[in-house]
Amino acid sequence: MVVNTNLKVIVVGVGRIALSHIPHIIFHRNLELVGIVEPNRLMRFVLSRLLKVPAYSSIKSIEDIDFDAVFVLTPPSSHYEITKAFLKLRKHVFLEKPVTLNPEHSIELLDLAKVNAVQFTCGYVYRHHPIFKEMRNIITSGIYGDAISCKIKMVGNVVNEDAPKTWRNTGRGSGCLYDYGCHAIDMHLFLFGPPNTVNCLSKESIFQEGVIDRFTVEIFHDDKYGFSSEVFCDWANSQVRKAGLSIEIVTSENKIHTDGQKITVIGDTNKVYSIKDLETNVSYYLRGEEFQLQMESFIFAIIENKHDYSNIEDGVLCDSIISDIFEAKL
């Protein structure tokens, strides 16, 4: 994307995930960070001086400021009200996942973005990962046969019995389902499209009642692919150092596996696709190419006025599936 247009952006919420976004913003040739919004006084003080930008305590404080886009990086329970406010102001919005905790609210936000003709993107970053994009190309092409079954697994060690109580493990919108789960379910939607039915096979609360730390669901496709797949997520596995998303697909001719670093085709060809072999030109690298590629996609849609809502449309469906899993009686 060779464009000289600069976009003025605001970041709302400067918690842990902001550390993955702010560096990409300040080093991007098309972006100018003009302010941050953060209720924590100490964080405002530190980041305002570190980033040399004004810091505000609430979104009401920035309604009269000149900016083009906003990165909403706050806990899920706040997504609806904050995002709605910015969409009403006709600002382009990048929203961390999930969209909201209520599928009807998510639909409302999507409709509002379309009416106001602004870009609205949700942070399902794995969609931009070169390996998972290549995995999708392989499945769509059918070069290794038609998919028969699929297993998607995301495992990590986010919480344990000594973990401090935060929004991640306390209250509505917390737990593995809204953290890992939405990524894994979105990946299924990215690879195979909307399912026919989703059944919750198991869900466990390990450290706190009402907070799902581990779950398994079965997703059925009766039309396009004609198979069922399994999604398993666990964010309380003490044997895992770093979270990872893996996929195994059995086709009519081969078995295809990826751990996010390479794709291995087990069968007649035994071909290996390495992430080093894929085209991943990025101007800034932090936590993987996918974060920069995700931002490029968001910026391109704004500058070229080619708004793409497919990410949010799948995000709305993902919210609906997550809500059904949360409410499922076993």
Q: Are 116 and 130 in the same domain?
A: no
CATH number of the domain encompassing residue 116? 3.40.50.720
Residue 4 has pLDDT above 60, yes or no: no
Pairing of strands 227-234, 244-251: unpaired
Given a contact cutoff of 8 angstroms between Cβ atoms, the answer to whether 95 and 121 are in contact is yes
Given a contact cutoff of 8 angstroms between Cβ atoms, the answer to whether 149 and 250 are in contact is yes
Q: Render pLDDT for 142-198 as a digit per residue (tens, 0 to 9).
A: 999 999 999 999 999 887 767 677 777 777 788 899 998 999 999 999 999 999 999
Q: Is residue 318 assigned to a domain?
A: no
Q: Render pLDDT for 37-96 as a digit per residue (tens, 0 to 9).
A: 999 999 999 999 999 999 999 999 998 899 999 999 999 999 999 999 999 999 999 999
Q: Are 203 and 246 in the same domain?
A: yes
Report if pTM > 0.85.
Answer: yes
Q: Render pLDDT for 109-138 as a digit per residue (tens, 0 to 9).
A: 999 999 999 999 999 999 999 999 999 999
Name the residue range of residue 235's domain. 126-278
Q: Are 43 and 168 in the same domain?
A: no
Q: Are 133 and 193 in the same domain?
A: yes
List the structure tokens of 294.
Answer: 């995700």
99 three-class SS: coil
249 three-class SS: strand
Q: Are 131 and 258 in the same domain?
A: yes
Q: Is residue 180 assigned to a domain?
A: yes
Pairing of strands 214-221, 227-234: antiparallel
Which of 94, 82, 102 lies closest to 118, judged by CA? 94
123: CB partners within 8 A, 6+ apart = 17, 94, 95, 96, 97, 294
Q: Is residue 76 assigned to a domain?
A: yes
Q: Is residue 329 assigned to a domain?
A: no
Q: Render pLDDT for 224-239 as a digit per residue (tens, 0 to 9).
A: 557 889 999 999 888 8
